[in-house]
Structure 1
Amino acid sequence: MPQQKGRTLLIQIGDGNVDPGPETFTNLCGIQTRSFNLSANEVDTTIPDCENPGGPVQRTAEPGIVNRTFSGSGKFVSGANADALMTHVRNATSFNAKVIVPGDGTYTGSWFVSEFEFSGEMEGNMDFSSTFVAAGPLTFVAEAAS
């Protein structure tokens, strides 16, 4: 499988319009550093051996609650897409978004911003960093094999 470019790990924000056609998703601009986390809690299922309770105990676990988060930081680019996102950030509301993971697939569903921060130097451009958390079940569509 070929190497993937980090800049193609994207989050696209939905415009919320589903009438009369499908919702339109656009890239969140300005992101320079990004990450997508797929994790699950560990539910401990360890029990001692009933036949030999004094012997070694093998730790065992099973998956629990899954977690999907996208984090990004970069230069804040104002415009319609950023305005819509900032409305959700200020009002702490969920919205539809897609996270596109090259070499894996697309995770689509409801998301919310759990953390958002502006920063900047006196003579530089304004930066931002944000963390997006799944707000409901996500639909996964695997990337087509090439």
Structure 2
Amino acid sequence: MTAQRGKDLLLKIGDAGDPESFSIIGGLRTKTLSLNTQMIDVTHAQSIGGWRELLAGGGVRQASISGSGVFLNGAAASTVRTVFFTGETRHWEIIIPGFGTVSGAFLITNLDYAGEHDREATMALALESAGEISFVAGGA
């Protein structure tokens, strides 16, 4: 993967329709996708040299997404607010240019609104995976 513009990383929320369509969430200025696996330590008295041993494929996997920026329209702001207050999981897509698309069900776990007296109002949100995550290689 060659260097890409950070602004091209997109975060989209599904409309829960059939077929589902996705829309971009606001003008996010920063976006982060973290993929994690809990490790299971299986080290024992005969572990070579006393080095830790881990069980391959044994841990719980999770994906976390965070972003901050501004809402560009009322529809995006309303969708995020409604999904947060109802506590529903929605399908989201994270498009990473030159890498691919990560998608799956996520729950909004944090939603912040902020503003300074001489600046625009901003928002920040955090999502946690709520099921299997898929990855499709490719992208611009």
TM-score, normalization by structure 2: 0.88
Correspondence for 2:52:
59
Residues 9, 102 of structure 1: 8 Å contact kept: yes
2-structure distance, mates of 1:104, 1:137: 19
Equivalent of 2:31 in 12, 34, 39: 34
| Structure of larger gyration radius | 1
2-structure distance, mates of 1:121, 1:66: 38
Is 1:113 the counterpart of 2:108? The answer is yes
5+ long unaligned stretches in structure 2 = none
> What does 1:1-146 correspond to in 2, within 5 Å?
1-18=1-18, 22-49=19-46, 56-62=49-55, 63=57, 64-143=59-138
Matched residue SS, 1:88: helix
TM-score, normalization by structure 1: 0.85
Cα-to-partner distance string for 1:52-77 (whole Å, 9 max, x where unaligned): xxx84111113411110111011233
2-structure distance, mates of 1:81, 1:12: 10
Q: How many residues align?
A: 138
Instruction: Let me know the Cα RMSD of the aligned residues.
Output: 1.9
Residues 13, 81 of structure 1: 8 Å contact kept: no
Matched residue SS, 1:80: helix
Quote how far apart the aligned CAs of 1:113 are.
0.5
Identical aligned residues as a percent: 29
Matched residue SS, 2:2: coil
5+ long unaligned stretches in structure 1 = none
Cα distance change of structure 1 residues 103 and 48 upon mapping to structure 2, 3 Å threshold: farther
Cα-to-partner distance string for 1:36-55 (whole Å, 9 max, x where unaligned): 101111110111218xxxx8
Residues 30, 67 of structure 2: 8 Å contact kept: yes
